[in-house]
Amino acid sequence: MDIKKHLDNIQANLSIEQINQIKHTISQKMIDDKCEYFPGETLDISVLPMLITQSEWDEIKKSSEQISAVLEKTIDLIYQEAEVKNFFNFDENQQNLLIPKYKKRPLRHVHFARFDGFLVNGQFKLLEFNSDMAMGINRSDRINQYYLEEAISKQWLSQDQIINPNDLLNEVEKTFQQIKTHLGIENPVISCVHGPFDKERLNTVADYNISYMRRFLEAKGWQTRADSWKDFTYDGHQLKSIDGQIIDIIYRCDLATSILKSPLVDIEPAYSAYRDGNVYMANPPQSGIGSYKIIAALWRDEAFRKLLTPDEIQSIDKYIPWTDWSNKQEITYQGQNHNLPKWALANKDILVFKPIHSFGGRDVILGRDTEVNQWEKTVAELTKESGWLIQEYIEIPTIESIDQVDGNLVKGQLFSNINPWVIDGKVKGLYTRISKSRVINVTTGGGVAASLIIKDLKA
């Protein structure tokens, strides 16, 4: 039986009431589990899951793990090679906060990351690397779990047909076990640290993620607490909380952009302890380098490529779309040299402009969604600006959807991207985001779908 067609047939015959009931049941479970996005509010959850074949799953793991290794090496090179560090044009304050010197190298620069990519005709293309902090792991686990509970209870699916790839919370706990062994501390204290963020709603998201992670870890026997950066003191040997408790591990739930805006006096105790090797951070500050979109341009830079192996270069060329600075006059694309402004005007539909310092899909300009006159203005402006990248457009796949229009059910398509969770360099789960827009992000109105692996299409 073709499971995809089987699900389509079942759900095409659902009524509006049945669809609303399914969504409500899953959302209520998320709320009851205190795993919602905002208080009493979850993301829109698709009734149709993202179904991935075993060969596609293998491709996602292979591509993501190879690029994860390149990212880890890149951060090492930033510390070792001045030219690589200078590529980012960081000022002194940014260098001190984003690339802090350390006496002891951490086990990894990036413990937890969520990559963004598109699965097109069996090949996975990676566009961005959310390696700064690990928010949303709990939701990824629970969306899959609660969707499967509904699908199995309604006999849409059976356990022998589907693999749930997500067991992310337990994988995070394994990382902390490794850090505990590395530190040689019998009962380390984990402090979950964040913010404040620019927007109060983001602070709420962080609070919910931290609370959920703390409940999970404490149920496993860990000592946890929640602190702000300004709550710490450091005497050169021990990092202590405001109430005098010694902190061994910081679980960082704060964006690098937020840290950059924090008063230096607030963050200096924790940073000094990290630099001295007297507190462990997961993720450490330098992990945020991967979230800077400029890294895709660095990987295409010929001088940088001399520091990579042929296999690493091959991985980049296969899995990362062509990317370069928008203000370069001459570029090389697919082995051909071009004048960038003229070439960009002639190839509108295959190009995207992205700001270097932005997240959440903000300010991304897709050539194919832009009128010719506006594209001409965009090219004229952004090919003179230093804060933008130009990138090859990757065809965005779609997922089947069932929606309500004027009280009627309408079957359609939503754009989708697949987000592999990479923990300690290995893919340990998936998160699928969906949207009516080609720019897919939950902060701009997108939704989510369960991400499931098909054991055998003809099972």
Q: 362 and 388 in contact (C-beta within 8 Å)?
A: no
pLDDT of residue 194: 81
Domains contained in the chain, CATH given: 322-392 (3.30.1490)
pLDDT of residue 196: 61
pLDDT of residue 203: 56
Q: 383 and 341 in contact (C-beta within 8 Å)?
A: yes
Whole-number average pLDDT of the chain: 89
| DSSP assignments along 117-165, one per residue | EEEETTEEEEEEEE-S---SHHHHHHHHHHHHHHHHHTTS--TTTEE--
pLDDT of residue 13: 75
Q: 212 and 34 in contact (C-beta within 8 Å)?
A: yes
| Tokens of residue 199, six digits | 């927007």
Residues 9-36 pLDDT 10s: 777 777 778 888 888 899 899 888 888 7
| Most confident option among 46-60, 120-134, 301-315 | 301-315
pLDDT over threshold 80, residue 6: no
Omega before residue 196 within 30° of 0, cis: yes
pLDDT of residue 459: 40
Confidence band for 361, pLDDT divided at 50, 70 and 90:
low
pLDDT of residue 445: 64
Please tell me the distance from the alpha carbon of residue 109 to that of residue 223, in angstroms, as a whole number. Answer: 24
Please state, for a pLDDT cut of 70, what percent of the chain lies above it. 92
Strands 408-423 and 112-120: antiparallel
Confidence band for 202, pLDDT divided at 50, 70 and 90:
low
Q: How is the chain split among helix, strand and coil, in percent rounded to 5?
A: 40, 25, 35
- 222 pairs with which residues across the strands? none
Residues 373-425 pLDDT 10s: 999 999 999 999 888 999 999 999 988 877 666 767 777 888 999 999 999 99
